Amino acid sequence: MTPINPPKSLDQLTAQEIERKANIGKIVTYTLGNLTSTYVNEGFQWLLPVVLSQSTDPLWPDPNASIETRIEVDIYGKPVRTMSSMIVHKLIAASTVYPKLFILSPNVRIEKSERGKTGKHIYEFTQLDFEIQNATSKDVFLLVETALCTLIKALKKDMKEALSAIGRFDALPTLEGPFKIFDREDLEAKYGETWEADVASEITQPAWITNLPREFYDFEDFSTGKWDNYDLIMPQFGEVLSGSKREYDYAKVIKKMEQHGVRKENYSLIIQMAKEGRLKPTAGAGIGIERIVGYITGVRHIAECQPFPRVPGIVHEL
C-alpha cells in the first residue's frame, strides 16, 4: 500500500485547501444531520456520550497488536479509562431504559504510529453507535441499508455542489439494498488473508461480512462455531461499520470472558445483570463517521474529514 501523507492542521492550509476542507465539512454536516434524523425518526433515543469510564471496550482479540497506549487515570480515587467504545454502556442501557438508542460517541484509541499512513486509522474518531433490544442481525442490516441508501440519495440531491467541487459527484454510486452477505470463512478460503481488501476492490455495492471471531460480547453459536456478527465493507474503501447480535446468557458470557482472558472485574455489571436475567438480547453496531464520510468524499486519509486531524503518531496543538 502506498503510504499516505497526513492532512495538515487548519492553520497550515492554503486558500485552495481551505475551500476543499470547507466542502468536506459541508458533507460531514449533512451526513450527521441526515443520519441522526433517520435514527430519531425510527424511534431511537439519542444518548449523551461518555469520555472517562471504569468499563470500556476490551478491544479483544489483541489490542496490543494495534494500540500503543491505553489511557488510564484516577478520578475521585478510582481508575477510569478513555472510551474505546461504549459497547458495555449500550448493552446495559438497551436492557433497561432505552430499548432503541444511539450515541455520537467520540472514541479514543491510541493506534500505533505506523498506522498513521494507512489512511484508515485515526487515534480519535466519532462513532454513531446504536443498539436495539430484541433485534436480530437482519433487523440491523435493514436499518443500516435504509439509512445509507437514504443518505447517499439525499447527498446526491442536496449536496451536488460540494460533491462536484471535490470531484466526487459522478464517482459516488447510488446505493441499493439489500446488500450482499458473505461469510468470512468462504472469503478466507477464496482469497486468503487479504480477503477484506480483495472483496472491497471487487464489489460495486456495499457488502456485509458475517462470522468474524471477535470480542466476548458478540454472539457465538457454540453448536456451529459461527459468530452472529458483521462488518460492512464499502466498495473500493473497506470497513465502515462493525456490529453484532450480543451475548446475554450468563453461562455463555462467563465462559467466553474466561476463554478470552478478559478481566471480569471490569465487567461486573454485565455479569451481574446476566446472572439476574436482566441483560436482554440486543443487536447493534457502530458506524465510523470519519470512515463513512471518507468513503463519500474519497479522501486519501480519513483524518481529512476531521476539523482537527487525529493521525496516529502526530499530535498537533489543537
CA distance 184 to 190: 10
Least distance to a copy of itself from the beta carbon of 238, Å?
Answer: 20
**By rule CB under 8 A, what count of residues binds a copy of itself?**
74
Question: For residues 26-55, which are near a copy of itself according to CB under 8 A?
Answer: 26, 28-29, 32-33, 36-37, 40, 44-55
Least distance to a copy of itself from the beta carbon of 247, Å?
Answer: 17
Select from 161, 268, 275, 300 the one that contacts a copy of itself (CB under 8 A).
Answer: 268
Please give the full DSSP string across 137-197, using - where no structure is assigned. Answer: HHHHHHHHHHHHHHHHHHHHHH-HHHHHHTT-TTTSPPP-SSPEEEEHHHHHHHHGGGHHH
Contacts 24+ apart (CB under 8 A), 250-259: 250/274, 250/275, 250/277, 250/279, 252/220, 252/222, 253/216, 253/217, 253/279, 256/216, 256/220, 257/216, 259/216
Least distance to a copy of itself from the beta carbon of 225, Å?
Answer: 31
Q: Is 316 in the site for a copy of itself (CB under 8 A)?
A: yes
Least distance to a copy of itself from the beta carbon of 236, Å?
Answer: 23
Question: For residues 113-152, which are near a copy of itself according to CB under 8 A?
Answer: 113, 123-124, 126
Least distance to a copy of itself from the beta carbon of 84, Å?
Answer: 11
125 neighbors 107 (Cβ within 8 angstroms): yes
CA distance 283 to 94: 9
Q: Reduce the DSSP state of residue 239 to 3 states and report it.
A: strand
Select from 173, 260, 269, 298 the one that contacts a copy of itself (CB under 8 A).
Answer: 269
Question: For residues 50-109, which are near a copy of itself according to CB under 8 A?
Answer: 50-55, 68-69, 71, 73-78, 80, 82-83, 88-89, 92-93, 96-98, 101, 104, 106, 108
| Backbone phi, psi, residue 2, to 5° | -70, 125
Least distance to a copy of itself from the beta carbon of 185, Å?
Answer: 35
Q: How many residues in total does the chain contain?
A: 318
> Which range touches a copy of itself (CB under 8 A), out of 7-15, 58-66, 202-210, 242-250?
7-15
Select from 1, 11, 170, 263 the one that contacts a copy of itself (CB under 8 A).
Answer: 11
Select from 25, 173, 177, 281 the one that contacts a copy of itself (CB under 8 A).
Answer: 25
CA distance 148 to 180: 14
